[in-house]
Structure 1
Amino acid sequence: MLTLSNLTTTYGPVRALDSVDLTVETGRITAVLGANGAGKTSLLRTVSGLVRPATGTVTLDGTDITGAPVESMVHRGMAHVPEGRGVIAELTVEENLRLGARGAAKRPSDAPAPVRTLDDAYRLFPVLGDRRNAQAHTLSGGERQMLVIARALLSRPTLLLLDEPSLGLAPRIVAQIFDLLRTLVADSGLTVLLVEQNARSALSIAHTGVVLNLGKVVVTESAEVLRNDATLRHSYLGF
């Protein structure tokens, strides 16, 4: 689904990503882990076109998209949920969701998609259905996170980029969101590139774990191996 080759991203003299090679397999969850400053957010921003790499290529489903306009990414089947739960506060829940649906990728009518309609979104996230007419600024942190994920899914992506979806949320809400991601991938073939500091939770649902350290890939392993390798966990993941 996604291949990064020799990808280097710089901010002035700082190398946020340093010759990164990474493959994300179709229909699987790949978790990118590491400490603050490891380059995790820069990785997603480079993939989605928000930042242009200094060198290297980004290939999506066989097409080189390096440097492609950000606004083209949704039509190519990519949805990016940045860190920070960025809802449009003055709009209602339903108005936020309709914005996601307006830019939906063109996919065959029989292609699997986890969310095609507003009703689908409300079935996945019942709390959003209950609050569909509420202004987004009145939502709790967990409800906002559900809203931005649902809005992204309404664009009918084949690849979902998620940046720190658990940040600042209660463990119960984190478990709900991660369980939902696992189900979406299993049922619809959605591909997820997940950036997380909560390594334990991310590895509980991921198929593959990638550890970044100072912009470099230092480990790529199955999530099961990372969960069970105490040396790797203690060295890079803090648990």
Structure 2
Amino acid sequence: MLAITGLCAGYGPITALDDVTLTAREGEITAVLGANGAGKTTLLRTVSGLHRARSGTVELAGRSLHRVPAERMPGLGMAHVPEGRGVITELTVEENLRLGGLGRGGKVGGDDLDRVYDLFPVLGDRRSALATTLSGGERQMLVVGRALMARPTMLLLDEPSLGLAPRIVAQIFGLVRDLVRADGLTVLLVEQNARSALSVADRGVVLSLGRVVADAPADELAGDEKLRHAYLGF
């Protein structure tokens, strides 16, 4: 589904990604792991068109994304949930969700809303509430739900567990796993909580200082004690 080859990106003199090559296979969760400063968020921002690569290629389902602007990505099947739970607090829950469907073009249907409310019942209960009144966990559910309104085939998730209680983290990760199994969604998951990410991922990629230092099935990475201690902190 997603093929990244020789990707390099940075900020001024700083190199954030150095010859990164990886693939996210269709219908799987690929976890991108590593410490702060490893280049994980830059990777997602570059893939989704928010940051321009210096060199290298990114292909989605065989189509080059070279110079495709971020606003066109939903129409191609890619949705990006950035770090920070960025909801529009002045709008209601339902208004936030409806915005998510605009990127793919066409009318936002009630079926799409009903699907998100089935996945996140708390959002259905609070559909008329202003987003500013939501808890951190509810905001994370809202931004994931908003991304799903675009009916993506490829979902980029950046640190969905950040600042959330373990119970909410387990709920969100379990939902992502269910979506992959039920709908064939492909997920590129950036996460510092390596243990939780590997528990739901099919494959893991470890970044260190902008370079890939490991790429293997998730269970192999979780079982590699030396690599875990060196790069993943558990």
Please report the TM-score for the alignment, with normalisation by the length of structure 1. 0.95
* Residue matched to 1:228: 223
* Residue matched to 1:24: 24
* Residue matched to 2:157: 162
CA distance in structure 1 between the aligned counterparts of 2:85 and 2:30, rounded to whole angstroms: 21
1:185 aligns with 2:160: no
Shift of 1:55: 0.6
CA distance in structure 2 between the aligned counterparts of 1:135 and 1:104, rounded to whole angstroms: 24
Select the residue among 114, 120, 133 that pairs with 2:115: 120
1:56 aligns with 2:51: no
Shift of 1:103: 2.1
* Residue matched to 1:88: 88
Give the secondary structure class of the aligned counterpart of 2:221.
Answer: helix
* Residue matched to 2:42: 42
Shift of 1:229: 1.2
Aligned residues: 231
Shift of 1:105: 6.4
One-letter identity of the residue aligned with 1:68: V
Is the deviation greater in 97-106 or in 13-22?
97-106
1:137 aligns with 2:132: yes
Give the secondary structure class of the aligned counterpart of 1:75.
Answer: helix
CA displacement 1:79-105 (0-9 Å, x = unmatched): 000000000000000000111122236
CA displacement 1:48-74 (0-9 Å, x = unmatched): 000110010111100111221111101
Give the secondary structure class of the aligned counterpart of 2:74.
Answer: coil
Give the secondary structure class of the aligned counterpart of 1:19.
Answer: strand
Select the residue among 176, 188, 199 that pairs with 2:171: 176
CA contact under 8 A between 1:105 and 1:157: conserved in structure 2? no
The percentage of aligned residue pairs carrying the same residue is 68
CA contact under 8 A between 1:76 and 1:105: conserved in structure 2? no
Which structure 1 residue ranges, 4+ long, deviate > 4 Å from structure 2?
Answer: none
One-letter identity of the residue aligned with 1:202: A
* Residue matched to 1:109: none
CA distance in structure 2 between the aligned counterparts of 1:158 and 1:173, rounded to whole angstroms: 24
CA distance in structure 1 between the aligned counterparts of 2:127 and 2:103, rounded to whole angstroms: 20
CA distance in structure 1 between the aligned counterparts of 2:157 and 2:66, rounded to whole angstroms: 19
CA contact under 8 A between 1:116 and 1:156: conserved in structure 2? no
Select the residue among 185, 195, 200 that pairs with 2:195: 200
161 and 80 in structure 1: CA distance in 2 versus 1, 3 angstrom threshold: same
Unaligned regions of 5+ residues in structure 1, if any? 107-114
CA distance in structure 1 between the aligned counterparts of 2:72 and 2:191, rounded to whole angstroms: 26
Give the secondary structure class of the aligned counterpart of 2:26.
Answer: coil
CA contact under 8 A between 1:210 and 1:217: conserved in structure 2? yes
* Residue matched to 1:151: 146
92 and 15 in structure 1: CA distance in 2 versus 1, 3 angstrom threshold: same
CA contact under 8 A between 1:208 and 1:220: conserved in structure 2? yes
CA distance in structure 1 between the aligned counterparts of 2:224 and 2:116, rounded to whole angstroms: 38
RMSD: 1.2
Please report the TM-score for the alignment, with normalisation by the length of structure 2. 0.97
Unaligned regions of 5+ residues in structure 2, if any? none
CA displacement 1:135-189 (0-9 Å, x = unmatched): 0000000000000000000100000000000000000000000000010000000
CA contact under 8 A between 1:52 and 1:66: conserved in structure 2? no
One-letter identity of the residue aligned with 2:212: V
CA distance in structure 2 between the aligned counterparts of 1:141 and 1:134, rounded to whole angstroms: 15
